[in-house]
Amino acid sequence: MKSTWSLAALILGFAIAAAPAMAQESSSGMAGMNMGAMNMGGAAMNPANMKEGEMEAMSMDTEHDMGHDSHMAQMANMSLHMAFTDPRPATPADLARAAKIVAQLRGVLAKYKDYKVAEADGFKPFHPEIKQMKVVHFTKNWYGLKAAFTFNPEQPTSLLYERRPRGGYKLIGAMYTDRKHATQDQLNARVPLSIARWHRHIDLCFPPKGADPKSVDWMKFGFNGSIATKAACDAAGGRFYPQIFGWMVHVYPWESNPEMVWAH
């Protein structure tokens, strides 16, 4: 009994510590708000345990009336908040390992082409009501927690569904995750860095506590914002986070172009 409780305590403690590192839950995968006192859809959210996709969701929800130039500026700002693993020289072993992962994933995902089957199996969509999100992450929390300890190619943290024009979803891929502080060698052991580039979200400035989401200047704050340093964030009265979520990598196993299979 003692060993059982010790293991349970260890898992719980790790889950709490790793919560911001795992894109678990709901949707991420980009799958995107209550930065303290803010809220979206009536649900209070905190940057410390924010789900992947929460801020993107808010940004997309407010950008539909933007002009082309503003939209392009937001897209450019996104690069300020993304960090990628360093590419490595490809080897035959890497190619074979990546191909095996894709083959395993294809087999597992076949039954999830019906998104209702995915929901019945524990994958929950993140804010499907936000129509501006063209891709919706369906995340299984249990798989996200397990991914912090071990890598199972057949248990992706999130499934990526493309919204259909007339309703429903089309399965296009999946997302694997790892801990916030995983090293590049550890990521490489999961999915070779010569084939795929893992990414993480960095240097983010969230609006002040109590801010009304509709009054926030999303050209400055969030995943699409221009603020990318603590000094600038402090000057704007925001809250700066060097990194949220953990590492993640997307895979699109049905792409005919090999370069697009592991496109980020």
Model confidence pLDDT, tens digit, residues 147-156: 999 999 999 9
Integer CA distances (angstroms), 227 to 78, 179, 239, in order: 10, 25, 11
Has residue 142 got a pLDDT over 90?
Answer: yes
pLDDT number for residue 212: 86
| Joined tokens for residue 6 | 């010790």
pTM of the model: 0.72
Strand order in the sheet with 124-125: 82-84, 199-206, 239-251, 169-178, 158-163, 135-139, 124-125
Residue at 100: amino acid letter: K
| Cα separation, 252 vs 172, whole angstroms | 6
44, 43, 74: which is closest to 59 by C-alpha?
A: 74
Regarding predicted confidence, which is higher, 41 or 227? 227
Q: Chain-wide mean pLDDT for the chain?
A: 78
Average pLDDT on 28-53 reads 37
Regarding predicted confidence, which is higher, 25 or 115? 115
42, 25, 50: which is closest to 241 by C-alpha?
A: 50
